Amino acid sequence: MNIFQWLGTILKKPDRYSELKQFGLFSQLNAYELFQISNIITERSFKAGEIIYEQGFPVEAIFLIQKGEVQLKGSNQPGGIRVLGQYQIIGLIDMFNAGTRSCSAHTVSPTSVLAISRTDLSDLIAGNPRLGNKILSSSCELLANRISELNSPV
């Protein structure tokens, strides 16, 4: 490695928000918007078999799965059960619903999630309509993909 290659690796800025971009909800956001999102995120860890939330409870947060698996149980899931994994989001549909959980969520394996409070997200969007439009657009795309999955023959 010559000096210029070495300097290139030293001066290259790591993408601090590359993990957040893995979640479809944030794929359209720029670095500053991702910085704003990162300020309202809380990291949580669960052991296998732990309950994240139960059906009928109020929606307090959405959860972004960093690693592990989460099983959703409820009448709105195909066959009553659905398992989600890394870089998937749980609770997003409920954010636009009546404000209560449409299913229960518990971990299948040790799981790490990023939690975003409904209130914090709403406040951030209210203060930054452009950011809100991007998140709304991404949410619509994710929801359309989910509806398409449900309607496609197996």
For the entire predicted model, the pTM comes to 0.81
Predicted confidence at residue 53, as pLDDT, reads 95
Separation of alpha carbons 141 and 135, rounded Å: 10
pLDDT in tens, the chain (154 residues): 555 655 555 455 456 688 899 999 998 999 899 999 999 999 999 999 999 999 999 999 999 999 999 999 986 666 678 899 999 999 888 887 768 898 999 999 999 999 999 999 999 999 999 999 999 999 889 888 877 877 766 5
Predicted confidence at residue 126, as pLDDT, reads 93
User: Long-range contacts for 118-123 (Cβ within 8 Å, ≥24 apart)?
Assistant: 118/59, 118/60, 118/61, 118/62, 120/40, 121/40, 121/62, 121/95
In eight-state DSSP terms, residue 23 is S
Predicted confidence at residue 46, as pLDDT, reads 98
Q: How many CB atoms lie within 10 A of CB 66?
A: 17
Predicted confidence at residue 148, as pLDDT, reads 80
- List of domains in the chain: 28-151 (2.60.120.10)
